[in-house]
Amino acid sequence: MLDVGLGLPILVPDAGPRAAIDFARRAEEAGAHSVWVGDRLVFRNQEPLLNLAAAAAVTSRVKLGTCVLLATLRPPALLAKMVASLDQMSDGRVILGVGVGSRADDFAAEQLDFEHRGGRAEELVDILRLAWAEEPLKYGGRFYDIDVGPVGPRPAQAHIPIWFGGSAESALRRIGRIGDGFIGGSGGGPDGFRASWEKIRRYAEAEGRDPASITPAALIYACVDDDRSRAEELAAAHLRHYYGPRRTDTSSFLLGSVDECLRVATAYAAAGVRTFIIGSVTAEPRYLDRLCDQLLPRLLQIEEVAAR
């Protein structure tokens, strides 16, 4: 069973102040499973949890996900309260996607050590789970030492799913051990996703976990345009804006006509992707409409084929 979510365009070059609000409403109307936001600190994007709170106010059904939140940039007790509040306000629609981060300047802005950020993220997840259970927040770890009473509120969900991004071996091992889901990137294409997912499955089995309990998802950027060269240029402009001039490869994106996009998406589904997170490379309304009106219905046809 495939799910198709859409990324809210808050990290693209032409993002406007209401991009997340307007597109979240549009995505729900189109039948998307979920909407997702990315995270950076030293960048001109809006704050992702505030974006999802705004999206929660104008939607009633779609899941609300972070793809991915740089969770350790936030104090753990405060983050627990923020995420639980969002889950309450949205009637249990939160999926918390967590990444350890790859930009040293984001950590420097919060005066945090860039090293050992993976271990810090694992401790933070333990603290979140304690806080959401409304247990006294007593935790003594390598990176966090907390001893206070319960931190509320209790989330609407009994278990907020925590998905992890990342491609390093340590990240894949972590997902196999404690992750509820895996968010792969499109950098390695379908073959790269398949290789990472197979490793996660093996790590999960080694921990005595059923790999089927982990949701395999992928963030894949897309631009629907019958003029493929125009779609490629918009995608390249997004990469230059977000990653800088050295990242230019768009070969694993969904670009061009709907049929061209579907060929690549089908390869991702065959590689094991069960939740598509389709990220637009622009906030231009006509391109967002094409994702909703033209691409989304065809992606759901892949779901029907997979179900048979």
pLDDT of 177 reads: 97
Q: Are 13 and 41 in contact (CB under 8 A)?
A: no
CA distance 71 to 112: 12
Q: Which amino acid is residue 285, in one-letter code?
A: P
Look at residue 306 and tell me whether its pLDDT is greater than 80.
no
Share of the chain above pLDDT 90, in %: 94
pLDDT tens-place string over residues 62-87? 999 999 999 999 999 999 999 999 99
Confidence of residue 23 (pLDDT cuts 50, 70, 90): very high
What confidence tens digit (pLDDT) does each residue in 281-296 have? 999 999 999 999 999 9
pLDDT at 197 over 80: yes
Of 209, 100, 210, 120, which Cα lies nearest the Cα of 164? 100
Report percent pLDDT > 70 for the chain: 98
Q: Which residue has the tokens 């094991």?
A: 272
Q: Report whether 55 contacts 8 (CB < 8 A).
A: yes
Hey, what domains does the chain have and what are their CATH numbers? Answer: 3-307 (3.20.20.30)
d(CA 257, CA 231): 9
- Over residues 135-157, the pLDDT tens digits come to 899 999 999 999 999 999 999 99
Check if the beta carbon of residue 13 is closer than 8 Å to that of residue 43: no
Cis upstream peptide for 155 (omega within 30°) = no
Mind listing the pLDDT tens digit for each residue in 213-239? Answer: 999 999 999 999 999 999 999 999 999
Going by pLDDT thresholds of 50, 70 and 90, the confidence category of residue 97 is very high
Distance CA 136, CA 275 (A): 35
